[in-house]
């Protein structure tokens, strides 16, 4: 494994452990050249999933694109990196478990939005504003109102449950 710091080809594995429900192996490595440590992830190679874009183009599914989108939406928010990785893995795993060979970019975006809605409302609105291409303030306000109404409904239901 090539060291990301000095480019040395040789490293030794210090620690290995399964992550993401055992579908990935996380390895801590130490470079035999410079002595610095780095982490690698080992995944099972599987059949590729193609993503059908809005314009009809097809490209390979890239889990890292989901991670980058989530990182951008969660910037300066209290969402741990592990949660972001978990969401991306769950989305990919769901498509693979269904045996999907092709998915639309819309399906991916909707799954990301649903996951963000559960973990961080601000990140959800950030992602939705880009993904749903709000063209003006009216669209943005409608989305916020929908989110606010759902939040109020949930709070009222919890209060009613406490009274019962």
Q: What is the DSSP string of 68-132?
A: HHHHHHTTTSS--HHHHHHHHHHHHHHHHHTT-SEEEHHHHHHHHHHHHHHH-HHHHHHHHHHHT
pTM exceeding the 0.85 threshold for the entire prediction? no
Where is the domain boundary, 45, 60, 77? 45
Cβ atoms of residues 62 and 50 within 8 Å: no
Same domain for 93 and 21: no
Same domain for 35 and 60: no
What six digits make up the tokens of 9?
């080809």
Q: Is residue 104 predicted with pLDDT exceeding 80?
A: yes
State the total domains in the chain.
2
Q: Residue 105's pLDDT is what? A: 93
Q: What is the pLDDT of residues 128-142, one digit of tens each?
A: 877 776 666 777 777
Domain that holds residue 51: 46-137
Q: What is the pLDDT of residues 70-84, one digit of tens each?
A: 999 999 999 999 999
Same domain for 111 and 99: yes
CB burial class (10 A; 0-12, 13-18, 19+) of residue 58? exposed
Q: What's the rounded Cα separation, in Å, for the pair 79 and 65?
A: 18
Cβ atoms of residues 164 and 153 within 8 Å: no
Same domain for 56 and 122: yes
Q: Is residue 43 predicted with pLDDT exceeding 90?
A: no
Q: What's the rounded Cα separation, in Å, for the pair 110 and 97?
A: 18
Same domain for 126 and 83: yes
């Amino acid at each position: 494994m090539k060291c990301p710091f000095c480019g040395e080809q040789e490293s030794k594995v210090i620690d290995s452990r399964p992550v993401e429900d055992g579908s990935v192996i996380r390895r801590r490595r130490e470079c035999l050249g410079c002595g610095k440590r780095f982490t690698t992830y080992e995944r099972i190679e599987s059949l590729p999933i193609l993503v059908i874009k809005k314009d009809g183009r097809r490209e390979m599914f890239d889990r890292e694109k989901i991670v980058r989108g989530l990182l951008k939406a969660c910037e300066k928010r209290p969402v741990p990196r592990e949660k972001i990785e978990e969401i991306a893995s769950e989305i990919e795993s769901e498509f693979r478990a269904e045996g999907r060979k092709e998915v639309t970019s819309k399906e991916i975006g909707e799954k990301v939005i649903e996951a963000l809605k559960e973990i961080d409302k601000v990140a959800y609105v950030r992602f939705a504003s880009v993904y749903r291409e709000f063209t003006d303030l009216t669209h943005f306000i409608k989305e916020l109102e929908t989110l606010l109404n759902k939040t109020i409904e949930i709070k009222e239901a919890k209060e009613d449950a406490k009274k019962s």
